[in-house]
Amino acid sequence: MSDPLLEVRNLHVHFDTYDGVAEVINGVNFTLNQGETAALVGETGCGKSVTMKAVMGLLPSARIPEGEILYKGENVLELSDAKLHARRGREMSMIMQDPMTSLNPVLTVGEQMIDVLKWQGKPRLSVTNWVRDRLGGSTSAEHRERAIEMLADVEISAPKRVFNSYPVELSGGMRQRILIAIALLSEPDLLIADEPGTALDVTTEAKVLDLLEELVEERDTSVLYITHDLGVAREVSDYINVMYAGEIVEQTSTAELFADPQHPYTRGMLESIPSLSTGIGDGIEGHLPDYTDPPGACRFVDRCPYAEAACHEVYPYPRETEPDHTVACHLFDGSPVAEHHHELAEERVNIGPPSWTDASETDSESDAVADGGSAQ
């Protein structure tokens, strides 16, 4: 197995709000190995962007009371601003969720791309140098050529014209491609793509995802995809982390997750795949909890059809139910908290197969879960 590139360990992120402390991220753990493509999946508001902004050091208003974010073994939470800035430019890039607000409306696409090329890897942006540079108009021909080439790589058909355009003059699909081009300009080792297709129509989204996959394969970049859509995660990633209310509730390879989904939330999300057009959560009633007053134990308890009284009281720590398959639910924790849970864990039939599996898959699933239920 390749080396870990990014390891997030027991990450907690809090925000001070008028209603109290919002404990948004609550003990998140995940690893991205070198050359791997992993997804972070969960419904809107579950904490995906907050997690990734923490990785990038882009959460000035948050408190991180506990946790480590190890990038190539070094804790980014302990890096100075200057070092973090240098690392962000050269080694880590993020495609932000909203193409309009992520691009500067008063600079042309070309100016923004050239800024990336000029300043990547520099320890600190000096305003004086930036102004001097801009007034001097010292845009090198090499940078210009590289930026235009990158626009062509992301399949923008008139790259020279787009290079001189302002973001507002371009379509949503073009702006998204430009963000991808900007993120890839510095040839990062780690690319975080936050819902790179959500602002687009379905056809353009599929094209953008294909393109991104091709580009990262060519460059051997490790990618973390953030999406609310398990269908997209299945298309693009080798490994899936399912997030609910600021916690990872299930994590395993993409193939294993679809062959043997275990956490009730994952299963609810899978049920909602046929109705993608209306968004995730159709298979799961209710809402995310209030982060200023979350349930004391399992955060999914108010929406879970298998909840027992004990689920309100005993925290479901993540456990490996099979090699490289981790689930945070008392149905699968090896020592079920209630007699009823014990029965459910042993007889998957009580949980019921997801509607998209056929009968033969159901049989093998029951066996797998019965085994998993006894794992420690």
Ligand X SMILES: Nc1ncnc2c1ncn2[C@@H]1O[C@H](COP(=O)(O)OP(=O)(O)OP(=O)(O)O)[C@@H](O)[C@H]1O
Q: What residue ranges bind Mg ion (CB under 5 A)?
A: 49
Q: How many CB atoms lie within 10 A of CB 352?
A: 11
Work out whether 269 is an interface residue with ligand SF4 (CB under 6 A). no
Nearer to Mg ion, 243 or 327 (CB): 243
Long-range contacts of 163-166 (CB under 8 A, 24+ apart): 163/108, 163/109, 163/110, 163/113, 164/108, 164/109, 164/110, 165/108, 165/109, 166/105, 166/106, 166/107, 166/108, 166/109
Task: List the one residue from 113, 170, 270, 301 that touches ligand SF4 (CB under 6 A).
Answer: 301
- Residue 264 interaction partner, one of ligand X, Mg ion, ligand SF4, none, beta carbon < 5-8 Å per kind: ligand SF4
Closest approach, Cβ 41 to Mg ion, in A, equals 12
Nearer to Mg ion, 49 or 102 (CB): 49
Work out whether 298 is an interface residue with ligand SF4 (CB under 6 A). yes
Q: How far apart are CA 16 and CA 176, in angstroms?
A: 32
Q: By CB under 6 A, which span of 48-56, 133-141, 268-276, 319-327 interacts with ligand X? A: 48-56
Q: How far apart are CA 30 and CA 39, in angstroms?
A: 11
Task: List the one residue from 97, 176, 272, 321 that touches ligand X (CB under 6 A).
Answer: 97
Closest approach, Cβ 226 to ligand X, in A, equals 7
Work out whether 50 is an interface residue with ligand X (CB under 6 A). yes
Owner of token pair 């992301």: 154
Task: Answer for the pair 41, 269: CB distance below 8 angstroms, yes or no.
Answer: yes
- Residue 311 interaction partner, one of ligand X, ligand SF4, Mg ion, none, beta carbon < 5-8 Å per kind: ligand SF4
Closest approach, Cβ 271 to ligand X, in A, equals 19
Task: Answer for the pair 117, 141: CB distance below 8 angstroms, yes or no.
Answer: no
Report which residue type is found at 310.
Answer: A
Work out whether 281 is an interface residue with ligand X (CB under 6 A). no
Q: By CB under 6 A, which span of 177-185, 193-201, 221-229, 303-311 interacts with ligand SF4? A: 303-311
Q: How far apart are CA 213 and CA 199, in angstroms?
A: 18
Rg (CA), the chain: 22
Closest approach, Cβ 22 to ligand X, in A, equals 5
Closest approach, Cβ 272 to ligand X, in A, equals 15
Q: Look at residues 300, 356, 319, 312 and name the one whose alpha carbon lies nearest to residue 337.
A: 312
- Residue 47 interaction partner, one of Mg ion, ligand SF4, ligand X, none, beta carbon < 5-8 Å per kind: ligand X
What are the backbone angles phi and psi of residue 298, rounded to the nearest 5°? Answer: -75, 125
Q: How far apart are CA 372 and CA 376, in angstroms?
A: 9
Owner of token pair 């997801």: 354
Residues 311-370 that bind ligand SF4 (CB under 6 A): 311, 316, 329-331
Report which residue type is found at 305.
Answer: P
Task: List the one residue from 2, 61, 157, 376 that touches ligand X (CB under 6 A).
Answer: 61
Work out whether 26 is an interface residue with ligand X (CB under 6 A). no
Residues that bind ligand SF4 (CB under 6 A): 264, 298, 300-301, 304, 306-307, 311, 316, 329-331
